[in-house]
Amino acid sequence: MLKIEKLTRRFGQNLAVNNANLQIPDGQMVGIIGRSGAGKSTLLRLLNRLIDPSEGQILFGDTDIAALKGRDLRAWRSDCAMIFQQFNLVGRLDVVTNVLTGRLYDVPAWRSMAQVFTPRERAFAIQALDRLGMAHTALQRAETLSGGQQQRVAIARALAQEPKILLADEPIASLDPMNAKIVMDALRDINKQDGITVICNLHTLDTARNYCDRIIGMQDGRIVFDGTPDLLTTRMAREIYGAEADEAFNEAATSTAIPATPAPVRVPA
């Protein structure tokens, strides 16, 4: 159970996340929607402490995540994997080493500095890659892959961490519809098969409706909607997205819905 209480983050005068309260039970797939600048990304980065909160608490079980430091903080980050919009792989390292970095927390310092990994670690990394259909690229440099392939490698890196929670910050915003669908299917599969909580920032509404058990809407740093997809009315969605509504509802532009398999739920634009 991940619990957020009165979580606030200020950047100067600007409240990026404003008094957020949430409870996310284990194994849920949560989509966070909202227009650009609504605070979705900040909220996710607060959860694995890439950003420190200004006020409030983040509780995982009995641990106060907001107060972690040093080795404990790194332990939390390794439990709470993150996937980025721009993949954040090391382009000039080969794919398998990128995936192996997911194990860095458990590797002793001298081995990690010498880049020495055990056969078991390598096998685990290759299995993670194979699950995403990327094992054949293991010895290639990460930068030679396409965007969709890089995102799958990034997911394999996250799997190598054996995380309890998987955070995904706009994982499909830089991908074409076909790759976006592959990536979202992989995230849902990880959620269902491994029971890992997945919290995912999404820009398009139909992707959130199709894949998530629960949708959280953010507007100007506040959580303005929290419920199952069918509770999210068109009127509510329009309010959350504001001026970006047309773009967010236009699934042809940036969504996982590809022509062959139309999305089951569509909101008229």
Q: Which residues bind other proteins (CB under 8 A)?
A: 48, 50, 74-78, 81-82, 84, 86-93, 97, 101-102, 104-105, 109, 112-113, 115, 141, 154, 157, 161
Q: Which of 148, 162, 160 is nearest to 85 (CA)?
A: 148
CA distance 257 to 37: 24
Q: Which of 231, 228, 232 is nearest to 248 (CA)?
A: 232
Residue nearer to other proteins on the CB measure, 79 or 226? 79
CA distance 262 to 199: 24
To other proteins, the closest distance from the beta carbon of 137 in angstroms equals 15
Residue nearer to other proteins on the CB measure, 76 or 225? 76
To other proteins, the closest distance from the beta carbon of 95 in angstroms equals 13
Residue nearer to other proteins on the CB measure, 82 or 218? 82
Residue nearer to other proteins on the CB measure, 5 or 162? 162
To other proteins, the closest distance from the beta carbon of 61 in angstroms equals 18
Alpha helices, DSSP H, located in the chain = 40-47, 70-79, 95-100, 109-113, 119-131, 147-160, 177-194, 205-211, 234-241, 245-249
Alpha helices, DSSP H, located in 138-204 = 147-160, 177-194
Residue nearer to other proteins on the CB measure, 47 or 232? 47
Q: Which amino acid is at 18?
A: N
CA distance 256 to 210: 9
By the 8 A CB rule, do 155 and 102 touch?
Answer: no
Residue nearer to other proteins on the CB measure, 117 or 211? 117
To other proteins, the closest distance from the beta carbon of 43 in angstroms equals 15
CA distance 29 to 79: 17
DSSP letter (8 states) at residue 93: S
Residue nearer to other proteins on the CB measure, 86 or 261? 86
To other proteins, the closest distance from the beta carbon of 121 in angstroms equals 13
To other proteins, the closest distance from the beta carbon of 196 in angstroms equals 15
Which residue is associated with the tokens 């420190």?
A: 52
To other proteins, the closest distance from the beta carbon of 158 in angstroms equals 8
Report the Cα–Cα distance between both ends of the chain, in Å, rounded: 36
